[in-house]
């Protein structure tokens, strides 16, 4: 069970880490490429759809559309193009609409009549070649909305800060566990060293006691010391005196 829980925990940590990395990379790429006419991603320009003018047929607000550069002369009716709007209501904004027909301006410039499929109403201004950004390739639903949410404070906290905080917490827990294991091993080594020193001290005491005992045994088995000579011969002159007196 413990092994299974560890596997689940590791899988969860890896998922959180991958999500955090993805969010970080996605944020960097999106900030530098989305809605930028001068930037592209693998040859594609990326725009976030801001209205539902094409929701009836192709894409809706919040979708992410990808546009590739094309020669305006190759465009035809029915193609969807991204262009810089010259209409009074949204002048300068990027619009992605469908071509209804080819036409020319009052000055004789070639261009296109465009419209949104939801309202089926033609755009006010004719889209001439210099304002065309590219031809629509494909879209990813709601990814633009996710990016917009990611740029908000709650989105940043939820999608970037929280995953990284989870990783930091898990790594902190792992560091504490590793430190505890290290301290336990260190204390075990210290204990083993103390036990070794104590065993050596007891062995030294035992050897010392054996040496003292051996010394006592050797002292008990030593030969007796020789006695001093008796004073008997020194009395001989007295015997001689007694003999002289009797005579």
Read off the pLDDT of residues 234-245 as tens digits, 9 standing for 90 and up.
555 555 555 454
What's the rounded Cα separation, in Å, for the pair 243 and 237? 10
Express each pLDDT in 202-236 by its tens digit.
Answer: 888 888 888 888 888 888 776 665 555 555 555 55
Query: In this predicted structure, what is the pLDDT of residue 37?
Result: 80
- Domain extents in the chain: 37-141
Closest CA to 95 of 55, 139, 49, 130: 49
Average pLDDT over residues 189-206: 88
Query: In this predicted structure, what is the pLDDT of residue 230?
Result: 53
Specify the fold of 37-141: Umud Fragment, subunit A (2.10.109)
What's the rounded Cα separation, in Å, for the pair 127 and 104? 9
Q: Which residue has the higher pLDDT, 86 or 160?
A: 86
- Torsion region of 33: left, alpha or beta (phi above 0 gives left; psi -120 to 50 gives alpha): alpha
Structure tokens of 217?
């045994």
Kindly give, in sequence order, each residue whose CB lies less than 8 Å from that of residue 126, ignoring residues fewer than 6 positions away. 103, 104, 105, 111, 112, 113
Query: In this predicted structure, what is the pLDDT of residue 183?
Result: 87
What's the rounded Cα separation, in Å, for the pair 244 and 231? 23
Express each pLDDT in 48-62 by its tens digit.
Answer: 999 999 999 999 999
pTM of the model: 0.63
Express each pLDDT in 119-134 by its tens digit.
Answer: 999 999 999 999 999 9
Closest CA to 139 of 45, 16, 15, 17: 45
């Amino acid at each position: 069970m413990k092994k299974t829980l560890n596997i689940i925990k590791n899988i969860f940590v890896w998922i959180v880490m991958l999500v955090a990395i993805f969010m970080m990379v996605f944020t960097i790429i999106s900030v530098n490429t989305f809605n930028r006419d001068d930037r592209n991603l693998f040859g594609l320009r990326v725009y976030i759809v801001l209205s539902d003018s094409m929701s009836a047929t192709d894409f809706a607000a919040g979708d992410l559309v990808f546009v590739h550069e094309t020669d305006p002369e190759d465009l035809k009716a029915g193609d969807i193009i991204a262009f810089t709007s010259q209409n009074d209501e949204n002048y300068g904004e990027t619009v992605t609409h469908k071509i209804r027909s080819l036409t020319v301006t009052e000055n004789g410039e070639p261009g296109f009549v465009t419209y949104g499929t939801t309202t089926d109403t033609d755009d006010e201004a004719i889209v001439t070649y210099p304002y065309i950004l590219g031809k629509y390739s494909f879209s990813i639903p709601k990814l633009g909305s996710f990016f917009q949410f990611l740029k908000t404070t709650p989105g940043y906290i939820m999608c970037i800060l929280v995953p990284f905080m989870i990783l930091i917490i898990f790594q902190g827990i792992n560091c504490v566990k590793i430190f505890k294991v290290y301290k336990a091993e260190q204390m075990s080594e210290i204990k083993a060293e103390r036990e070794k020193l104590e065993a050596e001290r007891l062995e030294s005491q035992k050897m010392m006691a054996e040496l003292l005992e051996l010394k006592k045994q050797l002292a008990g088995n030593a030969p007796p010391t020789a006695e001093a000579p008796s004073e008997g011969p020194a009395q001989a002159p007295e015997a001689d005196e007694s003999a002289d007196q009797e005579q």
